[in-house]
Amino acid sequence: MRLEAERRARETVETAQRLASAVTATAEPGFKPFWFAVPVARPLMSDKGALEVVGELVPGTWYLAVERRGQGFLPMTPGGLYGFLLDTSGIQRG
């Protein structure tokens, strides 16, 4: 039980660090928006800097990456929701 709590705490700290990096990074100059899909469900984090999941990106749906911030993207969902995608591994570009 303690090991599980420690693992979750480490994951939370890592997510907070990646989110802070994305929030404080400037948009990549010359970035061209592109469509992408995720291979597995991924959390969409608040673009306001809060350590809050505001949505979920799911396989089978195309999303528009409108900015690159640090190692993450600022995508827009089909419903018009914006947030940070911090884990961009394995994405499929359209």
Q: List, for residues 33-90, the tens digit of each pLDDT value.
A: 999 999 999 999 988 877 789 999 999 999 999 998 888 899 999 999 999 998 999 9
Q: Given the DSSP bridges, would you call strands 92-93 and 34-37 parallel, antiparallel or unpaired?
A: antiparallel
Separation of alpha carbons 15 and 42, rounded Å: 12
- Residue pair 33/45 in contact (Cβ under 8 Å)? The answer is no
Residue 35's nearest CA partner among 64, 68, 69 is: 64
Q: How far is CA 40 from CA 3, 6, 32, 48, 50, in A?
A: 26, 25, 24, 24, 23
Question: What is this structure's pTM?
Answer: 0.77
DSSP state of 25: S
